[in-house]
Chain A
Amino acid sequence: MKKIILFLSFLILIQTEFAFAQNQDYDFNLDEFEKKSFDCRGYLSLNPKITVDNKEQRLYSAINELQIEPSYKKDWINLKANFSFFAMLYSKEDNDYKFIINNLYQTFGEDFSLSLGKQSLKWGKGYIYNPIAFLDRVKNPLDPESVREGYYLLKLQYIQTPEGDILQNHSFTFVYMPSSYDLNKDFYTKEHSYNNVAFKYYALILDTDIDLIYMQEEKVNKYGIDLSKNLSEELEVHGELSYFNEQNEYLIGFKYAAPYDLTLTTEYYKKQGDNFIYNKLSQKDAFGIIYSTAYVSYQKNLDQNKYQVIFSFKYDFKNGFVVESIATKSSQDKSLGLKTTYYF
């Protein structure tokens, strides 16, 4: 483990020195950024972690990921893909290796578009949970930004921008998603395949974002609505509500963006009958260190008295390397991790 950290430190230093040695004038050569038919980017992320459970047992682990995002656009071909290869190493369990196709889809058209393939829709306005994301994978509450894998589906979308001050723009989306044992298995129940369909209407009315959703999954009708609006320059409010099987789930939250990049996010939500609260206070350029971000988050299941606190400090070395130290404490365990990501 020490050798890995030393090697990473050496690489970061070499890269940083190289970045400092770049020329000091304002030359701007666009050749490097000219549009190419084929593009590929990605990152390599190493994430060693030590976890201590309530019985004081220690578990060493390292969740390492190589993510590659190729794209190809020429004439009518507009292909986008995103692949992840995970190497999950554990001190007390068997190691696990996984290859995941997060996205792989073709898009035709602009205002009226058709997308076909594996893709994530990312419906909803909530940060920690999205009751109306009927066709997305459930977010990981430990790391809500980590879930990237989509489902195989067909998406038709029409964007319209009418003249007028009240309705600024709106869009109509239709989604068809088949589910079977081999395809979109999460939606496969009762041992027979099914055709799921969903409609979404989005509108920016005055300064408010609104989504209305209807979905038919098996024989269940699902309804959803979300809203997002700035009450003032600093204060944004958002909310989501879903209704199906005579039950509802909801989320209400706000984000206060103070000057000097201090942001407070608070969300209250109801998920599968339980009530949760989530708070996150984040500061960019924390402790006067430019390109750093520090945050503390607190999440609690109010019905089961379970909680989780996360402290994080992240620094962008300006050369592709981003290092983040993460300390967590929850009802079950505590952990300390150091995540190093290199973007290429």
Chain B
Amino acid sequence: MKKIFCIPLTIFIFYSLAFAKDDILSKIDRRLNPESFESYRKLINIEPDGTKKEFILYTIKKGKDKVASLFLSPKSDQGRSTLRLGENMWLYIPGIAKPLRIASMQSVTGGVFNNSDIMRVDFSVEYTVVSQKKEENYLILDLKAKNDSVAYEKLIMKVKNDLPVQIQCYAGGILIKTITYSKIKDFGNGIVRPAIMETTSPLQKGYKSVIVFARLKPRKLKDSYFTLDFLPKLEDIRK
């Protein structure tokens, strides 16, 4: 009889622990941004000699895995837009063609950031927590990709106060890049998060890519904004 009770109890405890672990990811996701929002970001690629190329992006996100971005600068890229729906990504170049499918590991901007870095969906969509441990004031999370289509198979995330401080991204067992979050800023509407993400890669020594958030606010967004037909019209919804 005891065994009959023990088996479901063990299963219950196992699942409770697993969900509790993944719950921290959902918490981090919501600390970084609300479920539905718009933002303005500056993406800076810095070369070893210090020269820079800057991109300004207007980005909208809804739910866990719908992201669309519009390039406002530089002039040569102005009007380009990208869409991500789960694992699918497209790039639209005005006047050239219909939106084209693009790969997550390639880069529409060049530099250290790839497409999945620029069109990042919630961590809880792509990763599950394998283990977690405390180190001084930080929580160290070992994250594993949920499937093969995720850009990095493993992340080591250093967390403080439910916000990432540093993320190490691994693919093929190799450290591909390190993302460092800094400058905690109050964006209003209860959003207090790092405003700067700096990325370096041992594969591109001397290069650095930085994302600076200037504005991030909740906004009710229609699902239709996240469709291929709407990509050419993304500028129209900017207020």
Contact = CB atoms under 8 A, between A and B. Distances in A.
Contacts of B53: 291, 316, 318
A230 interface: yes
Contacts of A185: none
B227 A171 contact: yes
Contacts of A216: none
A157 interface: yes
Contact of B97 (A122, A202, A232, A259): A122
B101 A228 contact: yes
Nearest to B149: A233
B141 interface: no
Residue among A107, A230, A320 facing the most chain B CB atoms (10 A cut-off): A230
A68 B212 CA distance: 31
B174 to A, nearest CB: 12
A118 interface: no
B10 interface: no
B76 A33 contact: no
B95 interface: yes
Given A28-B214, A233-B105, A257-B103, A343 B74 contact: yes
B224 A26 contact: no
A110 B210 contact: no
8 tightest A-B CB contacts, nearest first: A161-B223, A257-B103, A343-B75, A28-B214, A343-B76, A159-B224, A318-B53, A148-B95
Interface of A: 19-20, 22, 24, 26, 28-30, 33, 35, 41, 43, 69, 71, 73, 78, 82, 102-103, 107, 110-111, 113, 120, 122-125, 127, 144-145, 148, 157, 159-161, 168-169, 171, 173, 202, 204, 207, 209, 228, 230, 232-234, 236, 255, 257, 259, 261, 263, 284-285, 290-291, 316, 318, 320, 322, 341, 343-344
Interface of B: 40, 42, 44-45, 47, 50-53, 56, 58, 72-76, 78-79, 85-88, 95-98, 101-107, 110-111, 148-149, 196, 207, 210, 212, 214-215, 222-224, 226-230, 233, 235-239
